[in-house]
Amino acid sequence: MSAVSTLATPLLAPAAPRPVRATAPRPARRWQWPLGAVLPVLLLALWEVLARTGALPPNLLPAPSRVLATIAELARTGELWPHLGLTLGRVLLGFGLGTALGTALGALTGYLPLLRRLLDPLLQGLRNIPSLAWVPLFILWMGIYETSKVVLIAVGVFFPVYLAVMSGIQNVDRKLVEVGRVYRLSGLELVRRVFLPAALPAYFVGLRNGLGLGWMFVVAAEIMGATKGLGFLLVDGQMTGRPQTILASILLFAVLGRCTDSLLARLSRRLLRWQDTHGTTT
C-alpha cells in the first residue's frame, strides 16, 4: 500500500458516531399541577375583585368566596354528599357500560371489514342525535328511575370509545401485521401482540373523550325526574334564584371531571411508558 493510500485511509473511514446523550428524566411533570393552577387562580382572583367592587352584579354572578362558602355550608349540613355520591355513581356506571360496548363494537368493526360496512353507517347516524333528544324516549321506555339515567350516560360515552377503537385498529401499520403473519402468530396472538399495543394510544384518547361526555350527559340525565345529584342541585338553584348554588354545582362538576380525567391520564402514562414520543419528554 502506498504512502498516499495509507494517509487517505483514515480520512475516508467513517467517523465514529458520537454517543447520544440520554434524554434526562422528566422532572417537569411534578410542576404540571402548580403551573396548571396559575391561570384558574388568576381568573378567580380577578372575578373576586370585580364582584367585590360591584362591577359584576351579585345577583347574577356572585363572588367566588360566596360560591365556596355555599359548598362549605352544603358539606357542613350533609346535604352535599348524597348529591355528590349519586352523580359520581351514575357517571361511573354509565362510563363502564358505554366503554364495554364501545370497545367490543369498535374492535369488531375495526378488525372485520364486512361488519364495519354493515354496522358503521347506522352507528354514525345515531352518533349525531343530540343528547336531549334521547331523554323523552328513555323516559318512555325505562321510566324516570336510575336505569334511564345510566343508559343515557352510556350513550354519551359509547361513541367516542367506539370511534377511537375502530380507527386505532384500522390505522395499525400493515407492515406490522404482515410481520406478525410471517412469524405465524395466531389470530389471538396477533391481536395481543400487534393490534392491541398499536391501538392503545388511540383507545385512551377515546376513553378520556368518553369520560368528558359522560360528565356532560349526566346533567341531561339528572333533569329526567331526579331528586338527588349535582344536576338536580343545579336546576334547583335556577328554579329558586340562587346563582351561588348554580355556580357551586358547576365548580363541583369541573373538579370531579378533572380528577377522574387525571386518573385516566395517569393510567395511560403508566401503560404507554414504552412509547418514545414528543409528549413523553414534557
Domain assignment of residue 12, yes or no: no
Instruction: Output the pLDDT for position 33.
Output: 59
Domain assignment of residue 28, yes or no: no
Query: Residue 273 has which C-alpha cell?
Result: 411508558
Output the pTM of the full model.
Answer: 0.80
In the predicted model, is pLDDT for residue 93 greater than 90?
A: yes
Domain assignment of residue 126, yes or no: yes
Query: Residue 149 has which C-alpha cell?
Result: 339515567
* Cα 115 from Cα 281, distance rounded (Å): 39
| CA dihedral over 267, 268, 273, 277, signed as positive or negative | negative
What is the phi/psi pair of residue 55, to 5°? Answer: -70, -30
In the predicted model, is pLDDT for residue 249 greater than 90?
A: yes
- Mean pLDDT, residues 80-99: 94
Domain assignment of residue 221, yes or no: yes
Domain assignment of residue 182, yes or no: yes
Q: Is 237 left (phi over 0), alpha (psi -120 to 50) or beta?
A: alpha
Instruction: Output the pLDDT for position 252.
Output: 94
- Mean pLDDT, residues 249-257: 93
Domain assignment of residue 35, yes or no: no
Concatenated DSSP letters for 189-233? HHIIIIIHHHHHHHHHHHHHHHHHHHHHHHHHHHTTT-SSSHHHH
Domain assignment of residue 10, yes or no: no
CATH number at residue 209: 1.10.3720.10
Segment 178-219, tens digit of pLDDT: 777 777 776 677 777 777 888 888 999 999 999 999 999 998
- What is the domain count for the chain? 1
DSSP 262: H
Domain assignment of residue 8, yes or no: no
Q: What CA–CA distances, in Å, run from 98 to 106, 150, 211, 219?
A: 11, 9, 10, 17
Q: Domain range holding 150?
A: 63-274
